Amino acid sequence: MLEVVQIGIYWAARQVFYALPLLLTLTALLIAMAPLNLFQGYAPAPDIVLASVFFWAIFGPQFLPAWAVFTLGLTQDFATGGPIGFWALIYLLAYGFSLSQRVFFFGRTVRGVWLGFAIVALVTAVVTWIAGSTYFMRWLPIGPILAQAGVSILAFPLVAKAFLFMRGYLTTAREAL
Amino acid sequence: MAWDRKRRRGFDTGPIGFVSRNLLLAFLTVVAFGALVVSRAQDGIFDGVREAVTDAGAPLMEAVAAPAAEFKRWNEGFSSFFSVYEENQRLREENVRLRTNLTELAELQRKTQRYEELLKVRPDEKITFVAARVIADATGPFVRTVLVNAGREQGLAKGQAVIDERGLLGRVITTGNRSARVLLLTDLNSRVPVLIEGSNLKAIMVGDNSGKPVLEYLPLGSRIKAGARIVTTPDGGVFPPGVAVGIVSTSKTPRVDLFTGEARADFVRVLKYTPSVDVDNAGPEPLPGATPSKEGGAPATPGTPGQPAANAPKPPKTTPVAAGMRVRPDA
């Protein structure tokens, strides 16, 4: 009986451990929504979810599977009050695109991966703009979307460093568990 | 064996191969697209779920917002540290000016009260309010909303105006039991009936996700001065009259510099306003001398009572505001 409980605890701990990328991204999403107003609302916050989706699609899709990306997108939809399914769709498309280019990006230098994210962020911004304009049936101003993509590109090295640290821990701890 | 042959022929490469290897991803993409189509086709279908999720997440957001507010205060204190002398001087001067204004205001209030008594003016509806704290700032590239920590339990309802110490901020769009979502004036779904002071022109202030909403449905050929003050009107029965909104911007198209700006306040007030007239069910005002119809509604001018006159003049094609356009609370 004790062994069964032990196995159960280990299993649960393992699941939480491997869900760390999802939990960390969700936490970042919630913190980004805190009413800090650091730049008086003139500079948009970076899209940490997109950076996370790109990073894990390239460096460890097993740690952030499609259902986790769907959860992140849906959480953002509920949290922002936007149309349900919008961000889930956008992030899944970005994840799919990044995943399909995984072989190309894997093993590149930091600058190469950064350039890759810049391309993905800009393509995602354009897709978001087209999808948003189609949904609301009017041309939305593209400026704020591109500004957010720009801030996300600038913030990517910092975000990637944190995730890289976590990835190293996750991959080496696999044997330990 | 067969699988090896397929691989050699290249069946596992290309889009089909990618989808076949990532069936869950493909399935969830279809689900997300389906949800988006459904939410577009049936507006408000997910409102119940959204309210429940927002309510469930509100304590968590509140927990995150508390240290964030402390950090914000610390950050503001630090940035004002170097300008404390100038700030003090400015506040002293402002204090002197405001004292003078206060005396004038008291005098004007007495005068207005006297005139209203003489003219037997019906007093304005009393507006009560609920104070609430902003717990999340969900401002994205095309959604401008904030979450507040008061809901139905505190008497909040859809459509109520939300103000901060500077002026109108937005209106409540969804309410949970203990939380509510406020649509900001800059959101592209925001429509607010406003009055331009001085010229007495009415218009609809339309958000377009930029920092400055546009003034639409202005009467043709109307001229408005840059810097004119803009306040709310009770047209549509959503907003109380006279709430400060902003001033007319100096740009080419008529836009509004909002008093609230892009920065958000920590605390807001939700106004509980009920118009004295039910605007959705009230018929048009009867013309002087006209016989009321049996239905008690439309005024009957030259034709048969209760029926529209065949030769009755058509309403002038001016503007929707002039023609009594109503703003849908859920617009």
Residue with tokens 């139905």: B152
Tell me chain B's radius of gyration from C-alpha atoms: 27
CATH topology of domain B125-279+319-331: Thrombin, subunit H (2.40.10)
Tell me the nearest-neighbour CA distance from A2 into chain B, angstroms.
35
Residue B298 pLDDT level (bands cut at 50, 70, 90): very low
CA distance B148 to B154: 12
Of B32, B38, B143, nearest to A89 by CB-CB distance is B32
Q: What's the whole-model pTM score? A: 0.74
Residue B230 pLDDT level (bands cut at 50, 70, 90): very high
The pLDDT value given to residue A122: 94
For residues B185 and B245, is the Cβ–Cβ distance under 8 A?
yes
Residue of chain B nearest A76, judged by CA positions = B138
State residue A99 phi and psi, 5-degree precision: -65, -40
The pLDDT value given to residue B329: 37
Residue with tokens 């999808």: A131
Contacts of B62 in chain A (CB under 8 A): none
Residue B301 pLDDT level (bands cut at 50, 70, 90): very low
Query: What string of DSSP letters covers B132-143?
Result: EEEEEEEE-SS-
Question: Would you call A73 an interface residue with chain B, using a CB distance cutoff of 8 Å?
Answer: yes
The pLDDT value given to residue B66: 77
Q: Do A36 and B72 touch (CB under 8 A)?
A: yes
| Cα atoms in the Cβ-side hemisphere of radius 13 Å centred on B201 | 22
Of B40, B139, B266, nearest to A83 by CB-CB distance is B40
CA distance B74 to B281: 51
CA distance B242 to B124: 11
The pLDDT value given to residue A51: 92
Domains of chain A: 2-34+42-176 (1.10.1760)
Residue B262 pLDDT level (bands cut at 50, 70, 90): low
Q: Smallest Cα–Cα separation from B125: which of B279, B230, B260?
A: B279
CA distance B213 to B162: 17
Residue of chain B nearest A80, judged by CA positions = B138
The pLDDT value given to residue A74: 92
Per-window interface: B 269-328 vs A, CB < 8 A? none
For residues A46 and A148, is the Cβ–Cβ distance under 8 A?
yes
The pLDDT value given to residue B318: 38
Residue of chain A nearest B41, judged by CA positions = A135
**How long a stretch of residues is chain B?**
331
- Encoding tokens for residue A63? 């740690």
- Encoding tokens for residue B317? 């094609």
b/e B218-240 (16+ beta carbons within 10 angstroms → b): beeeeebeeeeebbbbbbbbbbb
The pLDDT value given to residue B294: 42
Q: Which residue has the higher pLDDT, B305 or B74?
A: B74
CA distance A169 to A59: 13
Q: Do B264 and A35 touch (CB under 8 A)?
A: yes
In terms of Cβ atoms closer than 10 Å to its own Cβ (0-12, 13-18, 19+), residue A7 is: exposed
Q: What is the mean pLDDT of each run of 10 residues along chain A (177 residues)?
A: 84 79 88 70 78 90 89 89 89 92 78 89 94 88 87 90 83 58
Q: Do A34 and B136 touch (CB under 8 A)?
A: yes
Q: Do B24 and A78 touch (CB under 8 A)?
A: no
CA distance A78 to A75: 5
State residue B98 phi and psi, 5-degree precision: -65, -35
The pLDDT value given to residue A161: 87
Q: Do A34 and B50 touch (CB under 8 A)?
A: no
Q: For Cα atoms A125, A130, A132, give the angle at the middle one, nearest 5 degrees.
A: 90
Tell me the nearest-neighbour CA distance from A66 into chain B, angstroms.
5
pLDDT in tens, B30-73: 999 999 999 888 877 888 888 888 888 888 888 877 777 777 77
Residue with tokens 């809901």: B151
- Chain B interface disruption, residue of A23, A29, A92, A140, most B CBs within 10 A: A92
CA distance B73 to B228: 33
Residue of chain A nearest B138, judged by CA positions = A80
Q: Do B136 and A135 touch (CB under 8 A)?
A: no
Of B143, B145, B263, nearest to A40 by CB-CB distance is B263
Of A35, A67, A89, nearest to B137 by CB-CB distance is A35
Q: For Cα atoms A102, A104, A110, give the angle at the middle one, nearest 5 degrees.
A: 90
Q: Which residue has the higher pLDDT, B10 or B231?
A: B231
Contacts of A79 in chain B (CB under 8 A): 57, 136, 138
Question: Would you call B146 an interface residue with chain A, using a CB distance cutoff of 8 Å?
Answer: yes
Residue with tokens 């032990």: A6
The pLDDT value given to residue A92: 94
- Neighbouring residues of B92: CB distance < 8 A, sequence distance ≥ 6: none
Q: For residue B19, what are the CA distances in angstroms to A31, A87, A99, A105, B37?
A: 34, 20, 11, 20, 22
Q: Do B32 and A88 touch (CB under 8 A)?
A: yes
In terms of Cβ atoms closer than 10 Å to its own Cβ (0-12, 13-18, 19+), residue B297 is: middle
Query: What string of DSSP letters covers B49-118?
Result: HHHHHHHHHHHHHHHHHHHHHHHHHHHHHHHHHTTHHHHHHHHHHHHHHHHHHHHHHHHHHHHHHHHHHH
Query: What are the domain boundaries of chain B?
Result: 2-36, 56-123, 125-279+319-331
Question: Would you call B177 an interface residue with chain A, using a CB distance cutoff of 8 Å?
Answer: no
Tell me the nearest-neighbour CA distance from A3 into chain B, angstroms.
34
The pLDDT value given to residue B194: 92
pLDDT in tens, B81-129: 778 888 888 999 999 999 999 999 999 999 988 888 888 877 666 778 8
pLDDT in tens, B161-218: 999 888 899 999 888 888 899 999 988 889 999 999 888 888 999 988 878 899 888 8
Question: Would you call A40 an interface residue with chain B, using a CB distance cutoff of 8 Å?
Answer: yes
